[in-house]
Amino acid sequence: MNASAPQTTLARWLSGPRYGRLPDHGPEAAAPKLSFEFFPPRTDALEAQLWACIRRLEPLAPRFVSVTYGAGGSTQARTHATVARIVTDTTLTPAAHLTCVGASRGEIDDVARQYWDAGIRHIVALRGDVPGGGAYVPHPDGYAYASDLVAGLKRVADFEISVAAYPEIHPTAASPLADLDNLKRKLDAGATRAITNYFFDNATFLRFLDLALAAGITAPIVPGIMPVSNYAQIVKFSAVSGVRVPDWLGKFFEGVEDDVEIRRMIATVVTAEQVRQLQASGVDEFHFYTLNRPDLTYAIAHILGVRPMASAG
Ligand SMILES: Cc1cc2nc3c(=O)[nH]c(=O)nc-3n(C[C@H](O)[C@H](O)[C@H](O)COP(=O)(O)OP(=O)(O)OC[C@H]3O[C@@H](n4cnc5c(N)ncnc54)[C@H](O)[C@@H]3O)c2cc1C
């Protein structure tokens, strides 16, 4: 065929790259392991929304659910109240996020002891950011970085510890290699898993796994999945956290800014595609940023092959 002649539609389709088969959830396929992230509520109305979300997702029996910690410890009491209630009122296993910002080691150790005493055995250990933005400066008597916090928590009690990872590199890391060294330090200090910041390009995540393995990391690096239905909001978040938002995602939301239902449908399709491609690549653990809204996460979990447990709920 003349190379410059336009290809027929089929020729064009058949000359493109080929993808692996997407999972079909046959009887032998194990459902993936899931975890769900919530944020602590600020008002009674948000509290009701959070608990409706928790109740809706509870039957999916995630291996844990985590509750974030506001910048500079601003949600300390609300995070504690939420994880403590998850222990007493649900069948779920909570993980409490904890950060280094604005507190001495002694204060952070006290918070950790209170968690342990309330039956919370899993901490997501983070450095945190300066409230309102600005350059991070460690508290003079505090844990400087998440790796120091992990080591400190292990001295308080034998917590299960998860830490953060950044497939697109933490925005203030000196270099990709320095960031990987930091991740390894956090795991060597006693963390057993990393949870990634959200990302939209699966190739970037899979490349990050390759680099991590080459750097001697063997612990699971669980992809953090953000179902996006509010494009403007995600662009704002991502500018701060160094996540690349692809143009195609923006195009999907063009012209439907005022149509919540359509935006949610688009979010379901985009996220389902992302997790199924990851599943086709062998990934079988996922962490969902629920934003305290259950339906998208429930739908995606269902598509991944997760079914409610009769005994939960
Ligand atoms: C899954 C997940 C959950 C999160 N939950 C929360 C939350 O609940 N509350 C909240 O406030 N924030 C949360 N964050 C955001 C997080 O606090 C920020 O991304 C923060 O900027 C970095 O936290 P970290 O734990 O990754 O820090 P670290 O691992 O300490 O790394 C921070 C930066 O410092 C560099 N670094 C580490 N050690 C050294 C060293 N010794 N010398 C020089 N540089 C060093 C690293 O390369 C990196 O650039 C979360 C992020 C993720 C991915």
Predicted confidence (pLDDT) at residue 158 exceeds the cutoff of 90: yes
As annotated, the active-site residues are 37
Q: Which pLDDT does position 72 carry in this prediction?
A: 77
**Which residue owns the Cα nearest ligand 1 atom 27?**
127
pLDDT for the residue 2 = 56
231, part of any domain: yes
Q: How confident is the model at residue 99 (pLDDT cuts 50, 70, 90)?
A: very high
In a domain, 7, yes or no: no
Answer yes or no: is pLDDT of 3 > 60.
Answer: no
Query: Residue 3: inside a domain, yes or no?
Result: no
**36 strand-pairing partners:** 65, 288
Return the ligand 1 atom nearest residue 98 CA: 8
In short, whether 73's Cβ falls inside 6 Å of ligand 1 is no
Q: Which residue type occupies 28?
A: E
Structural contact between residues 59 and 34, judged by C-beta atoms closer than 8 angstroms? no
Atom from ligand 1 closest to the CA of residue 287: 1
For ligand 1, whether the C-beta of 280 sits within 6 Å is no
Distance 262 CA to ligand 1 centre (A): 34
What is the bridge-based pairing of β-strands 160-165 and 193-198?
Answer: parallel
Neighbours of 152 (CB within 10 A): 19
Q: Are 205 and 278 in contact (CB under 8 A)?
A: yes
Q: d(Cα 25, Cα 100) in Å, to the nearest integer?
A: 42
pLDDT at position 270: 97
Q: What is the percentage of the chain residues whose pLDDT exceeds 90?
A: 83
Output the CA angle 223-226-229, nearest 5 degrees: 160
Does residue 309 lie in a domain region? Answer: no
Look at 1-10, 73-82, 114-123, 203-212 and tell me which has the smallest mean pLDDT.
Answer: 1-10
Residue 219 located in a structural domain? yes
Q: What is the mean pLDDT of residues 108-137?
A: 95
| Packed helices 146-156 and 176-188: angle between N→C axes, nearest 10 degrees | 0
Residue 122 pLDDT exceeds 70: yes
CA of 2 to the centre of ligand 1 (A): 55
Q: Is the CB of 177 under 6 A from ligand 1?
A: no
Amino acid found at 100: C
Measure Cα distances from 313 to 84, 95, 156, 308 in Å. 17, 19, 33, 9
* 194-241 tens-digit pLDDT: 999 999 999 999 999 999 999 999 999 999 999 999 999 999 999 989
Instruction: Write phi, then psi, for 170 (nearest 5 degrees).
Output: -60, 135
Cβ atoms of residues 202 and 278 within 8 Å: yes
More confident residue, 113 or 8: 113
Q: Which atom of ligand 1 is nearest to the CA of 136?
A: 21
* Alpha-carbon distances, residue 38 vs 33, 95, 298 (angstroms): 17, 10, 14
CA distances from 142 to 80, 150, 191 (A): 20, 13, 19
Whole-angstrom CA distances from 102 to 50, 76, 146 are 27, 12, 13
Q: Count structural domains, the chain.
A: 1
Residue of 64, 124, 161, 182 best suited for mutating to test ligand 1, as the one with most atoms within 8 Å of CB? 182
Beta strands 64-67; 33-38: pairing state: parallel
CB-ligand 1 contact for 97 (6 Å cutoff): yes
Q: What is the pLDDT of residues 229-283, one digit of tens each?
A: 999 999 999 998 999 999 999 999 999 999 999 999 999 999 999 999 999 888 9
| More confidently predicted of 311 and 69 | 69
Best probe residue, ligand 1, of 68, 97, 136, 145 (max atoms within 8 Å of C-beta): 145
Is residue 308 in a domain? no
The domain that contains 225 carries what CATH number?
A: 3.20.20.220
Strand partners, 184: none
Kindly tell me if the per-residue pLDDT of 312 is higher than 50.
Answer: no
Cα of 172 from ligand 1 centre, angstroms: 9
Q: What was the pLDDT predicted at 19?
A: 67
Cα 268 to Cα 146: distance, rounded to the nearest angstrom: 33
Query: Is residue 210 a part of any domain in this protein?
Result: yes
User: In the predicted model, is pLDDT for residue 157 greater than 60?
Assistant: yes
Q: How far apart are CA 154 and CA 168, in angstroms?
A: 28
**Which CA distances in Å does 306 have to 31, 50, 53, 275, 286?**
5, 21, 17, 13, 12
Mean pLDDT, the chain, rounded, equals: 93
Q: Tell me: pLDDT of 313 over 50.
A: no
pLDDT tens digits for range 32-51: 999 999 999 999 999 999 99
Structural domain including 134 reads 29-303
| Confidence at 132, pLDDT banded by 50, 70, 90 | confident
Q: What is the mean pLDDT of residues 174-202?
A: 97
Nearest alpha carbon, ligand 1 atom 2: 164
| Stretch 284-304: mean pLDDT | 96
DSSP 8-class letter at 292: T
Ligand 1: distance of its center to the CA of 306 in Å?
Answer: 31
Ligand 1 atom closest to Cα of 163?
Answer: 25
> With a 6 A CB cut-off, is 237 part of the ligand 1 pocket?
no
Look at residue 310 and tell me if it is in a domain.
Answer: no
The pLDDT value recorded for residue 4 is 65
